[in-house]
Amino acid sequence: MKVKVFDESHEKDLENDINEFISKTNPKIIDIKYSASISVFADEQIFCFTALILYET
């Protein structure tokens, strides 16, 4: 069993990264955990979209 972690500042980038990983490695996916967070720094909103894929090769 293995894990792969993705971290992007835009949800579309995260989606593209995951789709690319799946198409290149063709893993047997066991589970996907998704998280989104936001913070504010000097009047700027900072987004973080993450996913953890638990898979077998």
- CB 4, CB 53: distance < 8 Å: yes
> What pLDDT score does 57 carry?
82
What pTM, to 2 d.p., does this model score?
0.86
Query: At a CB cut-off of 8 Å and minimum separation 6, what does 6 contact?
Result: 14, 17, 18, 21, 50, 51, 52, 53
Digit-coded pLDDT (tens) for 1-53 = 999 999 999 999 999 999 999 999 999 999 999 999 999 999 899 999 999 99
> What pLDDT score does 56 carry?
94
Q: Spell out the domains of the chain, with CATH numbers in brackets.
A: 2-56 (3.30.1660)
> What pLDDT score does 2 carry?
97
> What pLDDT score does 24 carry?
96
DSSP 10: S
Helix (H) or strand (E) holding 27: none
